[in-house]
Amino acid sequence: MGGMRVPGMIYTSDKMLGNIGTDQSPKQVANVAHLPGILKYSMAMPDMHWGYGFPIGGVAAFDLNEGVISPGGVGYDINCGVRLMATRLFFGDIKDRLHDLVTALFQNIPTGVGSKGSLKLSVSEEKKVLREGASWAVARGFGEAGDLETTEDRGVMEGADPDLVSDRALDRGKQQLGTLGSGNHFLEIEVVEEIFDETAARAFGLELNQVAVVIHSGSRGLGYQVCDDYLARMVKTMAKLDFQLPDRQLACAYLASDAGRRYLAAMACAANYAWANRQMLMHWTRETFERTLRKSPRDMGMRLVYDVCHNIAKIEEFVIDGKKKKVCVHRKGATRALPPGHRALPDRYRAVGQPVLIPGDMGTGSYVLVGTEKAFHETFGSTCHGAGRVMSRSQAKKASRGRSIVREMADRHVIVMATGKGTLQEEIPEAYKDVDSVVDIVHNAGLSKKVARLRAVGCIKG
Q: Which residues are catalytic?
A: 385
Contact in structure between 204 and 143 (CB atoms under 8 Å):
no
Contact in structure between 69 and 328 (CB atoms under 8 Å):
yes
Q: Cα–Cα distance between 212 and 231 in angstroms, integer?
A: 38
Please give the DSSP secondary-structure letter assigned to residue 389.
Answer: B
Question: What is the number of residues in the chain?
Answer: 462
Contact in structure between 304 and 83 (CB atoms under 8 Å):
yes
Q: How far is CA 292 from CA 37, 100, 279, 303, 417, in A?
A: 54, 7, 20, 17, 17
Q: Cα–Cα distance between 449 and 384 in angstroms, integer?
A: 12
**Pairing outcome for strands 448-461 and 415-418:** parallel
Contacts of 394 (CB under 8 A, 6+ apart): none
Which of 2, 69, 415 lies closest to 268 in space, CA to CA? Answer: 69
Which of 68, 178, 167 lies closest to 134 in space, CA to CA? Answer: 178
Backbone angles phi, psi at 200, to 5 degrees: -65, -40
Q: Which residues pair with 315 in a beta bridge?
A: 328
Exposed / middle / buried, residue 36 (Cβ in 10 Å: 0-12, 13-18, 19+): middle
HSE, side-chain direction, 13 A CA sphere, residue 392: 8
Q: Cα–Cα distance between 441 and 447 in angstroms, integer?
A: 9
Contact in structure between 69 and 62 (CB atoms under 8 Å):
yes
Q: Cα–Cα distance between 417 and 415 in angstroms, integer?
A: 7
Assign 125 to helix, strand or coil. helix
Contact in structure between 99 and 239 (CB atoms under 8 Å):
no
